[in-house]
Structures are given as C-alpha cells and as structure tokens.
Amino acid sequence: MIDNRTITKDKAKKILLPTNDFIFKGIYGKKGSERITEAFIKAFLDLEVTIDKLEDSKALDIESVEKKASILDVLLTNKDGSKINLEMQVGNYSNLEERFCFYGLELFTEQYKSGMKYEDVNKVLCVIILKDDYVKYSNFDKYKMSWQFREEDYHDLILTDKIEFCIISLEKIKKKIANGEISDKEKIAIWTKFLLTPQKLKEEEMEENQEVKQANEKYNEMLGDDNTRRLALKRQLALMEMDSARGDGIKEGKKEDAKNMLKENFDIETISRITGLTKEEIEQLK
C-alpha cells in the first residue's frame, strides 16, 4: 500500500504529471472542464470545438484504476454531434494501433440505432497523445500524424470522412520548441510545458493562457486530495507493473523516476514500493 503520509503533495508533484491518465481524465474529462478541453483541442489539433457534453464516467475505484478496463480518458460530444476521444498514453506502445482502432470503431458503431440512416451517424475523431516518442514513427518529423480510410493507389480518395485517427507526440513537440521550430510562447508550447513540466510554468504564461491556469489549478487540487493522490500513484504503479510484465524495457524509465525521488529525499523503501526496483538497485543510483 502506498503511504500518503510519506508521499506528500509536493513530493507527488515530482512524479505525478498531468500525463498520468488518471490525472489527465480528472483535468480534461470531467463536467465543468469544457472550456479547458476546448482550448486544449484548439492548441493541439487546430480544431474549433464547442463541447455539448463531456462523458463523465463514474469515479474510478482502485480495481478499475489498475485494470483501466474500457474506460476512456476523455470523451466528448461536439455541438455538431461529432465525437472526440482523447487518450493519454505513457509507455506500453505494444498493439497501439489495434487498440486505437478498437476505440474508434466501437465509438462509431455504438451510435447506430435500429431504423437509423447510415448517413446520420456522426463523425468520430480518436486522438492518442504519446508522452514519449514512438519508435515506429520516430523517423517522421511531424508531431501530429492523421489517418483516414484511403484508396490504395489514389491517396486523395477517402472512403469516408466520418472516422479519423490522430497520434500526437509530446516528445516531438518538445524537440521542436527546443530547436525554435515552435515558439515557446505558442499555446501548444505552453500546454506541452504544463503536461511535461508543470512546476516550470510561469505566472505570466498562465495569466496569458487562462485555460492553462485553470488546468493547473485542477491539477494542484487533485494532488492536494489524499485519496485522489493515492489512486493516481496506484495507477502509475499498476502501469509500471504491466509494462514490466510485457517486457517493454521500461526499467530505465523506472530508474529515472527513482533518481528524481532520491533528489526529493524519498526514503528507499518507498521508492522501491513505487518503482518495483530493489533496494540494491536504488542504492546504486545515488
């Protein structure tokens, strides 16, 4: 059991980023977050949306946090009836495309009701946001890659525009900001900064981007709640364990987390419990 008496809000902030999908859902996927989520979509997808409904699932318990089941991170209905699903993915890129297609096709088909005309089914846009670069697409420069069903030889010929998939790499955006391709003052840069390094956000950046400020307030509120913090840490630990079981080679990531926790004076027993590293492995990181 993760001990909240040891994992304070300030310490948790070093290892629980807004990219934690439990936290991500709490910021962008709950009723009352409509304006925040609209601004987020505009920044990353250059898409104007007016949210009619955020599909707010019931509060997650520990079991569902560990398994994730079929819970979607963020699902919204736009005023034109179209559906947008936002998924945050940290590690575990195995079978990414298959899982991605499953989400999108399920959302597309579940709209159909008996007697309904096929042309009345609304568009579905599925977006996966990757915290890290995905080796399969690492040689491509674009930070945003989009897919539709296209004819094999005539690529401009789209079978239907009612289902679309999009993958966004935060790592690629970060690199483009670093080399000047994206200004650090652009909204996408500020949102990326919030997702990856929220502690580095400046007051003036938030004052100029009110939705980012509101997202940061929600983030701090979540980390300030003992139960929410415990569930988020539980989710992070579960993901580490699942990735380790799959043999995805994320041990280096665990070591990096452990180094950060050592810098914040976490005790070795707590670090071992969270990361799964042995005490000897952690001692070697000092």
The residue extents of the domains of the chain are: 12-248, 250-286
Q: Which two tokens stand for residue 222?
A: 């979540």
Q: State the chain's mean pLDDT as an integer.
A: 84
Please give the span between the terminal C-alpha atoms of the chain, in angstroms, as a whole number.
25
Q: How many CA atoms lie within 13 A of 140 on its CB side?
A: 13
pLDDT-derived band of residue 242, with 50, 70 and 90 as boundaries?
low
Question: In angstroms, what CA-CA distances link 138 with 11, 73, 162?
Answer: 32, 25, 28
Question: Long-range contacts of range 226-231, CB-CB < 8 Å, 24 or more positions apart?
Answer: 226/4, 228/26, 229/4, 229/7, 229/9, 229/12, 229/16, 230/2, 230/4, 231/22, 231/60, 231/62, 231/65
Query: How far, CA to CA in Å, does 271 sit from each of 15, 106, 226, 244?
Result: 11, 39, 18, 16
Angle formed by the axes of helices 226-246 and 251-263, nearest 10°? 150
Convert the pLDDT of each residue in 17-68 to its tens digit.
999 988 999 999 999 999 999 999 999 999 999 999 998 754 444 445 445 4
Strand-by-strand arrangement of the 51-54 sheet: 51-54, 74-78, 83-89, 124-130, 158-169, 144-150
Q: Which residue has the higher pLDDT, 113 or 128?
A: 128
Cβ 2 vs Cβ 16: under 8 Å: no
- What pLDDT digit, counting tens, does each position of 116-127 carry? 888 889 999 999
Q: Could you count the other beta carbons within 10 Å of the beta carbon of residue 273?
A: 18
285 vs 173: which has the higher pLDDT: 173
| Dihedral, 185, 257, 99, 151 alpha carbons, nearest 10 | 40
Contact present, 88 and 129 (Cβ < 8 Å)? yes
Q: pTM value?
A: 0.79
Tell whether the model's pLDDT for residue 2 goes beyond 50. Answer: no
The amino acid sitting at 107 is L
Positive or negative, the Cα torsion across 39, 201, 16, 7?
negative
Give the C-alpha distances (Å, rounded to integers) separating 196 from 2, 144, 186, 206, 237.
Answer: 23, 17, 16, 15, 18
Q: Is the pLDDT of residue 93 over 80?
A: no
**159 vs 241 pLDDT, higher one:** 159
Share of the chain residues as helix, strand and coil, in percent rounded to the nearest 5: 50, 15, 35
pLDDT at 8: 62
Would you say residue 253 has pLDDT above 90? Answer: no
Q: Side chain identity at 153, as an amino acid letter?
A: D
